[in-house]
Amino acid sequence: MQFADERLFGGHAAWTQSRAVQASPVSVYSRKQTIRMFEKGELAYRETVLGGCASVEPCRETPLDWMRLDCLESDSRNLVILPSKLQRVIKAQQTTVEKLRVVDETSVEYRIEAPPRLCR
């Protein structure tokens, strides 16, 4: 999928789509220079469940935390969200929760995965 296919969200996406960057009369980097910067680790992009991360720092997050909620909650400046991927994650989570509910609505697994209920 190419980024031009849909609108991007997140801190890094907002920066790249900012008026200052868009209005710049000069291309920030040539293609050749950009590739060199990726090779040297000066630029980075890693695909995530929701889109990607543009941080050049090593990821300090546990691989078990597949849903990058901390990035969403802090509106990380490196976050890139593809709405189609977000919808896919939501649908997969809804399916998982429903399967767990059918098996045992009181199970620990269901209570961990299901959205919190309001107190009655």
| pLDDT at residue 120, rounded to an integer | 41
Domain boundary (11, 31, 57) is at 57
Q: The pTM is what?
A: 0.49
Please indicate, yes or no, whether residues 98 and 47 belong to a single structural domain of this protein. no
Domain with 92, as residue range(s), is 62-119
Sole residue written with tokens 């209005």: 23
Please, which pLDDT band fits residue 47 given cuts at 50, 70 and 90?
A: confident
| Strands 79-81, 51-53: pairing kind | antiparallel
Calculate the average pLDDT of the chain: 78
Output 27 or 76, whichever has higher pLDDT.
76
Token pair 């980075």 in the structure block, residue? 44
Q: What is the pLDDT of residues 54-100, one digit of tens each?
A: 889 876 654 445 566 777 778 788 888 888 988 998 898 899 999 99
**Residue at which a domain ends, from 40, 57, 74:** 57
